[in-house]
Every structure is written in structure tokens, then in C-alpha cells.
Amino acid sequence: MNKSQIVALLNKDIEGEHAAIIQYLAHAYAMGEGELACEIEAIAREEMRHLDWLAEAVTDLGGTPSFTRGKMRQGGKTVTAWMKNDVLAEEDAIKMYRDHIRLIKDVKIKRLLERILSDEMSHHGDFVGFVKEAAEEKLKDLRGERKDKLTRVLDWGIEHEYTVILQYLLHSYAAPNEKMRNELQDQAINEMQHMGWLAEKMVGRGGHPHMEHTKIERPKTVAKMLDADIKIEKQVASAYDKAAKEIDDRKVRKLLTRIRDHELYHIKVFNDLKKTL
């Protein structure tokens, strides 16, 4: 198996991790605060770590990580049904990793996939337990059907944050040095926090988060990547500022202002990175 074939398999793994992250986060946000939601978010963070490892492996092989989202197992009207879908998602992942371990002969790549497989098997056991826990606790879907200016703003924010998480991660793998890579990934992590805050506020206000992203900018040079990152941060900082002034809900207004300030900080970070080129 040549490098391009290995990259193709690893990109399938990345797409599967991407789907799992969003599926699990959507379930965690929809059930509100609580121990089970926290445990599921922790699993989603482990899947994010897998995605990062796989993307780095693809980059090391001279490939470009795929940030296409794989198929999610959606549907189900109860938390118990969601947990059953998450069990099936882990079974899909376990089968795929076992197949790829069998096909790939590169020792280093096999070792990485075996490491991830170990996590997926543990996650599978966790979700099997969560099926029973959700039924016993009679956990419910806390999302509502509220659709007004406030929920439109929150949904726009979630969409933006999701987009830049992927964009900054993708750009980080093209970074010419470790410092720049780490800075870009740090900002992506901060955007993940924003997405969670906004989604939780949406559910708390009777809305239904739609976990979708828009176009990811993929310039050819690092300088142009940073220009694209600076441009989007300027646009959204202004948009968050405008929305904060127009929203009546005091707590949401405070959150939007906080995120705006973070975006302004990201602009400074990206400008500093550009000076190092």
C-alpha cells in the first residue's frame, strides 16, 4: 500500500471522528447540564484528539487532511435512543479501525490506529452503560422550537465557531513551525469553547442548535491563510458587537460581548504570527 492509499484510509478515519464529535456534542448539549452530558463531552474531546493525531499523520505523509464530516447516526426522540445510536457509531468506528489496521503495513501508523481503537472500544462500553443510565434517569431532550432573533443570532454564532474550528485546525497542519501550529490550535480550542457556550445558551433559551458549518477557506500559502483568519475574525467581532447591542437578554448579551473580546484577541495573535513569516 503506497502513501496516497494510506492517506485515503486515514482521511476516512478523520471523517468518522468528525462525525462522532458533532454527534456526541449535539447529544450532550441537547440534554442540558448534568453528569451524563459532561461524560459525553469528555468522550467528544477524546475524539477531537484522535482527529488531531490522524490529521498530523496525513500531513506527515504529504497529504491534506479531509475535514468533510462523515455520516452521523441521527434520529431518535429520547436520550436512550440517542445513546443507542452512539453505541452503533462506536461499532462503526471499531470495525473501520480494525479493517484499516489489517490493510496498513506501516508500523507507526498501525500503532496509532491500535491506540485509537483501544479508546473506541472503551467508548463503546461507556455508551452501552449510558443507554441504561438514560432510561433509569428518564433524561429528556431539552431542545425547543423557539425561533426568533435571539435564536437566529445564537445559531449564526454556532455556525461561525464550527467553521473556524475546522479552518484553524486545517491551517495549523500547514504551519511552518511548531509555535505557529500550537497557536492556531489554541485558537481552535477557544472557538470550541465558544461553540459549546452558544449551544448551551440556545438550549437553555428553548432553541434547537443546528450543528452545521459554512465554507472553510483553504488558501495555498501560510501568509494567505493568516490573512483569511484575520479577515473572518474582524468580520465576526463586528457582528458579535452589533448583536450584543441588539439583544435584550442580559446573559446572552454578556456572552456575546465576551466572545467578541476573544475574537479581537485572535486578530492580534494572527497578526503577530504573520510578522514571523
Q: Which three cell numbers stand for residue 162?
A: 464550527
Handedness of CA 173, 175, 179, 182 (dihedral sign): negative
Structural domain contains residue 15: yes
Q: Which of 214, 204, 96, 101 is nearest to 166 (CA)?
A: 214
Structural domain contains residue 161: yes
Contact 223, 275 (CB under 8 A): no
Span 8-29, pLDDT tens digits: 999 999 999 999 999 999 999 9
* Rounded mean pLDDT, 241-251: 96
Whether 98 and 215 map to the same domain: the answer is no
Q: From CA 192, how far away is CA 186, in angstroms rounded?
A: 10
Structural domain contains residue 184: yes
Q: Above 90 in pLDDT, residue 32?
A: no
Structural domain contains residue 144: no
Domain count, the chain: 2
Contact 233, 171 (CB under 8 A): no
Domain with residue 64: its CATH number is 1.20.1260.10
Q: Which three cell numbers stand for residue 196?
A: 459549546
Q: Which of 23, 13, 41 is nearest to 88 (CA)?
A: 23
Span 107-166, pLDDT tens digits: 999 999 999 999 999 999 999 999 999 999 888 899 999 999 999 999 999 999 999 999
Query: Residue 200 in 3-state DSSP?
Result: helix
Whether 156 and 121 map to the same domain: the answer is no
- In sequence order, what are the residues at sequence separation of 6 or more whose Cβ sits closer than 8 angstroms to the Cβ of residue 249? 150, 205
Q: Provide the pLDDT for residue 33.
A: 83
* Rounded mean pLDDT, 39-46: 96
Domain boundary among 113, 137, 161: 137
Whether 32 and 127 map to the same domain: the answer is yes
Whether 192 and 124 map to the same domain: the answer is no
Domain boundary among 100, 115, 137: 137
Structural domain contains residue 142: no
- In sequence order, what are the residues at sequence separation of 6 or more whose Cβ sits closer than 8 angstroms to the Cβ of residue 212? 159, 162
Q: Provide the pLDDT for residue 270.
A: 98
Structural domain contains residue 110: yes
Task: Look up the domain containing 43 and give its range.
Answer: 3-137
Span 58-76, pLDDT tens digits: 999 999 999 999 999 988 8
